């Protein structure tokens, strides 16, 4: 399966999503802030990153997205956000996100996004 990095400052969200993804057979890494997330992308090279839009205490999701895309175009980035806003969705996709899903998200939908992006990445 995939190596997935979850980047979210909400510990409970990370725990729940990590548990679900591990049950699905994925290798899951967690980060709660931007600088750590950047290091984990560079050093651990996950296939997929679930990236929260709003992260407290420093670098936000949009900034992480921009910085990661400067050195890695292969990682699939799925933005996750409580913001149900077409402007934010469009902006994240323009900046290189592969998907934008809103919280609370349906785990089946999340799994489908991961599966679809894994299939697309394997075809390249």
Cα dihedral 10, 16, 19, 24, rounded to 10, equals -110
Distance CA 26, CA 68 (A): 21
User: Is 31:58 a contact under the CB 8 Å cutoff?
Assistant: no
Mean pLDDT of 39-57: 93
Residue 40, both tokens: 């984990």
Q: How many domains does the chain have?
A: 1
Domain range enclosing 60? 3-123
Rounded Cα–Cα distance for residues 44 and 123 (Å): 22
- Provide the pLDDT for residue 123: 46
Does the pLDDT value for residue 124 go beyond 70?
Answer: no
Range of weakest confidence among 49-58, 59-68, 79-88, 110-119: 110-119
Sign for the CA dihedral angle at 94, 78, 119, 39 comes to: positive
CATH number, domain of 94, equals 3.40.50.2300
Class of residue 72 by CB neighbours under 10 A (exposed 0-12, middle 13-18, buried 19+): middle
């Amino acid at each position: 399966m995939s190596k997935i990095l979850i980047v979210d400052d909400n510990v409970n969200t990370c725990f729940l999503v990590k548990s679900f993804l591990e049950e699905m057979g994925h290798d899951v890494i967690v980060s709660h802030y931007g600088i750590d997330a950047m290091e984990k992308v560079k050093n651990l090279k996950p296939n997929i990153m679930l990236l929260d839009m709003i992260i407290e205490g420093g670098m936000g999701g949009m900034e992480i997205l921009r910085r990661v895309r400067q050195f890695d175009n292969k990682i699939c980035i799925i933005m996750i956000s409580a913001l149900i806003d077409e402007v934010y969705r469009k902006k994240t996709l323009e900046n290189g996100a592969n998907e934008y899903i809103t919280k609370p998200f349906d785990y089946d939908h999340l799994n489908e996004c991961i599966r679809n992006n894994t299939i697309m990445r394997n075809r390249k």
